[in-house]
Structure 1
Amino acid sequence: MNLLIKSATIIDKSQPSLHLKKRDILIEKGLIQAIGVRIEAGKKTRVIELKNLHVSPGWFDSSVSFGEPGYEERETISNGLEVAASAGFTGIVLNTNTHPSPDTSGDIVFLKETGKGHSTSLYPMGTVSMGANGAELSEMYDMSLSGAVAFSDYKHALDNPNLLKLALLYTQNFDALVYSFPQDGQLSPKGQMHEGEVSMRLGLRGIPTLTEELRIARDLAILQYTGGKLHIPTISTASSVNLIAAAKKNGLDVSCSVAIHHLWFTDEVLDGFDSRYKTLPPLRGKKDSKALQKALAEGVIDFVTSDHCPLDVEEKRREFDQAAFGALGLEESFGVLNQIYGPEVASEILGRGRKRFGLAEAKLAAGQPAELTLFDPEAEYTLSRESLLSTSGNSMFLGIPLKGKAYGIIRGEKTSI
């Protein structure tokens, strides 16, 4: 199917001659054939004309959870990829919190096959350890050959330092990326939220910033010793930013991400014991949130993630200390970032990350494969449970006015619009 996008404002700072210009974009057989002021539609060409249409290179998310296999009631891969496409993401990296955990090449093949045929590309991760139990290395090389783009035990911290050392050494043989979740659980047994004034007032066990910062310092020391490629997902404190910035200056191959909810909320929203705001890492204080916003804009934090984690209502509607950690994020991402940074910076941030996983960058240029996000940065709406496309409803942003909404995506010959 050929497509002609009409009168779209292009948002792409890497293309100075096109950035912020209104142009038509012709796509034939999945390739961008032409970008011009006025292009006439040929036969068998579908014309896309939308209100206040903006187009950018396709957005990418490095930490997305669905439920399949094992927890399909939370979200199937099929429905999750439809949610991602409607939210503007042309590619997502799938987390390993499934049952069973993907720790063999067969598991990776299953995930890739299940994700085929959708507008959004699915890139699976494999676990670092067998069963994500932190004891012995998984079949990392075989999984890499089958299409795993990185290795992560999701939010199970790699408590055994020797396991991380071995993983970083071993994966250098095939240039793979290792995730290490930044939390030392022994410093916060049964912790429920950020340790501070609010946790003391509510009488909830706290998770101090020290749990994250000590683990990052340890992991960076191991990385300096071994070499390799390390990714630290969803950092949440100002000191974590400083540690990673210093490591990068020293030449270590380390990257990090931040979740959208850590840019928007602070621990003050937990005054009502609402478990929708219960996440790991926990929501921190204002100083941390501001530091994270600044570091993301400056590139010290490499990329943002929705940290999308659908959960059953039964897992959230419990006493706060019994409720599960996690929140939705795909459908909220652009609206949040657009209000913090504006559409130009928000689109640039959402486009980051592919290179770190060895994936081709999305490029908005003639001759390139079409991988585009279409959106309206001025669209105003209030997210409701009824408007969510996700089959779970555990969003922090329900009832909050947002500005900026994706129309959908075009990737190759597939489109969600």
Structure 2
Amino acid sequence: MNVLVKSATIVDPKSDFHNQTVDILIEKGIISEISATINNPKNYKELSLDNLHASQGWFDSSVSFGEPGYEERETIENGLLTAGKSGFTAVAVNANTNPVIDSYADISYLKSKAQKNAVNLYPIGALTKNSEGKDLAELFDMTNAGAVAFYDYQHPISNPNLMKLALLYASNFDGLVCSFPQESKISGMGVMNENVTSTSLGLKGNPALAEELQIARDLFILEYTEGKLHIPTISTAKSVELIRAAKRKTLDITCSVAIHNLIYTDEHLNTFNTNFKVLPPLRTASDLKALIEGLKDGTIDMVTSDHNPIDIEDKKIEFDFAKYGTIGLESAFGALNSIFTVKKTIELLTKGKKRFGIDSTAIKVGATADLTLFDPNTAYTFSKDLILSRSKNTMFDGRELKGKVYGIIANNQLITN
């Protein structure tokens, strides 16, 4: 694949061309020249787009597709295309399929299905067999097959000894253990954040305490085992404080936050729109503020769309019985870019790579082209006709966003909208 990218402003602090507007010549998937102006004697395809910006390819650490088993929600092929058109060149895919991804063969299956795609798929294996929280899955075997982490997606590990064993065992091969932050006996049957809003709506509450107790427990176990832990999708102010304190102790801990928890609060559930039913639930305005501050000071390491397609039959029902989840790949950049600077937005969309063992290369001559192309200034209203996923369960319908994705250049392929 040969392409000449014209007049692109580089957003990459690790590049010598950061903040410069340049032409980028890519030949056979490799950046062969970067200069103020590059001629095109070989008549390569040219990309010349309004207010074009280019950064290192973006990464999402928590994406669900459905295949195998739930192809009606999303397939791997369409999911990766959606990711690419949303600006992501790499995604870590959760194990919440049918069957659950918990063996060498399962990881190999996912990787084989994703071959020859522009977007790299990095499988996350289940931490326990069938994500049932009883026995550890084949962690070492899955690592050898290409798993980048281990996580029972949205299933908390209730047995603290099992978490201890997981952290000890995985430390033998530098495995990354993920623990969903929820104490199930406290959360009970709660379907939204527990406070005055849940009381006024007559919905069972899932208190912040449930998240914070689990995180506190896991941090004690982490300190004891000296393991390697990632806590996905924290949602409360106290959670930020707990992780900030753990980092001061230099524990090997990282965490993420779902982008929708930076945009919406529990007050948005007053219409009983099940697209706002997510896990962890939307919290309060003070929690939202603390999460944003946590990102600014580095306590929270990365953001995720927590993209989770759910078919209409499981969403257009009573709120209590609807499944948790919202899609988020298509709206991720526009949502983040509406609350942070462009530089911070790109940092947050690329920062998680190192934690998941994914290479990150500065935009420079000789490097493999792994680029996201975008316009950070275009404002628009997100609507369902912009959804590329098979499932349409978005909470961003009607939301004002800022920033348009043009596409990606990755794996010697060009994908554009």
The TM-score range, normalised by the shorter chain, is: over 0.9
- SS of 1:317's equivalent? coil
Alpha-carbon RMSD across the aligned residues, in angstroms, is: 1.0
SS at match of 1:327: coil
The 8 Å contact of residues 61 and 352 in structure 2, kept in 1 or not, is answered as: yes
Question: What one-letter code is carried by the residue in structure 1 that aligns with 2:61?
Answer: S
For residues 280 and 400 of structure 2, the distance between their equivalents in structure 1, rounded to whole angstroms, comes to: 25
Q: Secondary structure in 2 aligned to 1:341?
A: coil
The structural deviation recorded for 1:384 is: 1.8
What's 1:371 paired with?
Answer: 370
Within 2, Cα distance between the matches of 1:381 and 1:42? 37
What SS does the aligned partner of 1:390 have?
Answer: coil
Map 1:38-53 → 2, pairs under 5 A: 38-43=37-42, 45-53=44-52
Equivalent in the alignment of 1:334 = 333
- Secondary structure at 1:353's aligned position in 2? helix
User: CA–CA distance in 1 between the matches of 2:335 and 2:117?
Assistant: 25
Check conservation: 2:265, 2:285, Cα contact below 8 A: yes
Matches within 5 A, 1:6-405: 6-15=6-15, 17-43=16-42, 45-405=44-404
Counterpart CA distance in 2 for 1:284 and 1:267 is: 5
Q: For 1:42 and 1:102, locate their aligned partners in 2 and report how far apart those are by CA, in whole Å.
A: 49
- SS of corresponding position for 2:100: coil
- How has the CA–CA distance of structure 1 residues 362 and 308 changed in structure 2, closer, same or farther, with 3 Å as cutoff? farther
1:362-410 CA-partner distances (Å, limit 9, x unpaired): 4211111111000011222222222211111100000112110111100
Contact 2:117–2:411 (8 Å) recurs in 1: no
CA–CA distance in 2 between the matches of 1:188 and 1:86?
Answer: 36
Cα contact 2:119–2:411 (8 A) shared by 1: no
Residue 335 of structure 1 and its aligned partner are, at CA, apart by 0.3
Separation in 1, partners of 2:160, 2:211? 15
Q: State the TM-score, normalizing by the size of structure 2.
A: 0.98
Distance 1:92 1:236 in 2: 22
In structure 1, how many angstroms separate the alpha carbons of the residues matched to 2:378 and 2:115?
Answer: 31
Is 1:3 the equivalent of 2:3?
yes
Letter in 2 for 1:237: T
Tell me by how many angstroms 1:44 deviates: 5.2
Say how many residue pairs are matched.
416
Q: Which runs of 4+ in 1 moved over 6 A?
A: none
- Conserved in 1, the CA contact under 8 Å of 2:85 and 2:407? yes
Describe the superposition over 1:79-109 as per-residue Cα deviations: whole angstroms up to 9, x where unpaired: 0000000000000000111000011100000
Distance 1:362 1:322 in 2: 45
Moved more, 44-53 or 318-327: 44-53
Cα distance in 2 for partners of 1:292, 1:13 equals 24
User: What fraction of aligned residue pairs are identical, expressed as a percent?
Assistant: 53
Q: Is the 8 A contact 1:26 1:32 kept in 2?
A: yes
Q: Does 28-37 or 313-322 show the bigger shift?
A: 28-37
Cα separation, 2, equivalents of 1:198 and 1:362: 46
Distance 2:363 2:70 in 1: 37
Q: Is the 8 Å Cα contact of residues 330 and 386 (structure 2) preserved in structure 1? A: no
Give the aligned residue type for 1:12.
Answer: D
Distance of 1:42 and 1:295 partners within structure 2:
49
Q: Structure 2: how far apart are the matches of 1:47 and 1:239?
A: 50
Which deviations, in whole Å up to 9, do the C-alpha atoms of 1:340-359 show, x marking residues without a partner? 01222111111111111111
The amino acid of 2:299's aligned partner reads V
Instruction: Provide Cα deviations, 1:30-73, integer angstroms capped at 9, x if missing partner.
Output: 11112110111241522111111110111000000001000000
How far apart, in 2, do the equivalents of 1:188 and 1:4 lie? Answer: 53
TM-score (norm 1): 0.98
